[in-house]
Amino acid sequence: MWRFAGLELSAARAAIDAAFEAGITLFDTADIYGFGEQGFGKAEELLGRVFADAPEYRDRMVLATKGGITPPTPYNSSAEYLTKAIDDSLQRLGTDRIDLWQIHRPDILTHPQEIARAVEAAHSAGKIRAFGVSNFTQAQISTLAQFSAVPIVSTQPELSPLRIDTIENGELDQAIAMDMAVLAWSPLGGGRIGDPSNEREQNVAGALSGVAASHGVSRTAAAYSWIMAHPARPIPIVGSQNPARIAEAADAFKITWTRADWYSVLVAARGVPLP
């Protein structure tokens, strides 16, 4: 929901309705979304207006949000700030609980024990039901997990057929080992899957298009499906606010990947043959 801020209420509801109709129930936002054009917290505020207009929407979704980015600082995960960030998100969203609360970016200057105590307090108070991280390294996740009585249930890395570091550097293997859900942000490579601009991007798009055509779906749906085929079962975050594009995401389930097809996309992304 990072582009959610600034929509009219009717357009906001239409986007959410399209997601529900496609079977999407996880909605991921953040307190920083809207910053720059609409303002800090504006995406959460708009979702809060949707809940006020249609209270039944709240119970139909798994509501995820994030905190910890503090322009221009840039990051703050002190216990004092995290406590305030969670309370502020609850107020903007107009809800009494957040299903999944995540630290948006790691704050190097905060000891993980301090983070853990703040999260535990919010969890005990019923303000958050589960805890995750976003853009954390494997070492940062492992270290924080040692101090936290509340398990880290999710990680949110950048992952797409054009951003395969997460696949090759062990991040997804760690997610499997720790039973963390993987929320893949920018699964379309910042739009480059749809509009490739160099040879590597064109090769990846071509490999995806071949599979997409054989299953009667779009290249976008093939990109989502390629991510979802990994054993870590990553969940692509669909960034579009266009109801038709949101509905298109469900086509990802129409593809059954052969190993040859899946690896052909990986090879195109690597730019060199596999060993």
Is residue 107 a part of any domain in this protein? yes
Contacts with 168 (C-beta within 8 Å, 6 or more apart), sequence order? none
Contacts with 271 (C-beta within 8 Å, 6 or more apart), sequence order? 200, 203
Is residue 161 within 8 A of residue 223, CB to CB? The reply is yes
Tokens 């004092």 map to which residue? 80
Is residue 231 a part of any domain in this protein? no
| 3 state SS of 46 | helix
Is residue 48 a part of any domain in this protein? yes
Is residue 262 a part of any domain in this protein? no
Is residue 251 a part of any domain in this protein? no
DSSP code, position 214: H
Kindly report the number of other CB atoms within 10 A of residue 139's CB atom: 9
Q: Which of 33, 57, 81, 224 is catalytic?
A: 33
Is residue 224 a part of any domain in this protein? no
Of the candidates 168, 115, 160, 112, which has an alpha carbon nearest to the alpha carbon of residue 139?
112
Residues recorded for the chain: 275
pLDDT, one tens digit per residue, over 47-79 is: 999 999 999 999 999 999 999 999 999 999 999
219-228 and 199-215 helices, crossing angle to 10°: 90
Rounded-to-integer distance, Cα 266 and Cα 269, Å: 5
pTM of the model: 0.94
Is residue 190 a part of any domain in this protein? no
Does the pLDDT of residue 142 top 90, yes or no? yes
Average pLDDT, the chain: 96
Task: Provide the pLDDT confidence category of residue 36 given band limits of 50, 70 and 90.
Answer: confident
pLDDT, one tens digit per residue, over 226-250 is: 999 999 999 999 988 899 999 999 9
Give pLDDT, residue 3. Answer: 87
Amino acid of residue 275: P
Rounded-to-integer distance, Cα 180 and Cα 66, Å: 16
Is residue 56 a part of any domain in this protein? yes
How many independent structural domains does the chain possess? 1
Could you confirm whether 33 is annotated as catalytic? Answer: yes
Beta bridge partners of 98: 128
**What domain range includes position 56?**
9-156
Task: Provide the pLDDT confidence category of residue 162 given band limits of 50, 70 and 90.
Answer: very high
Task: Provide the pLDDT confidence category of residue 207 given band limits of 50, 70 and 90.
Answer: very high
Q: What's 127's domain CATH number? A: 3.20.20.100
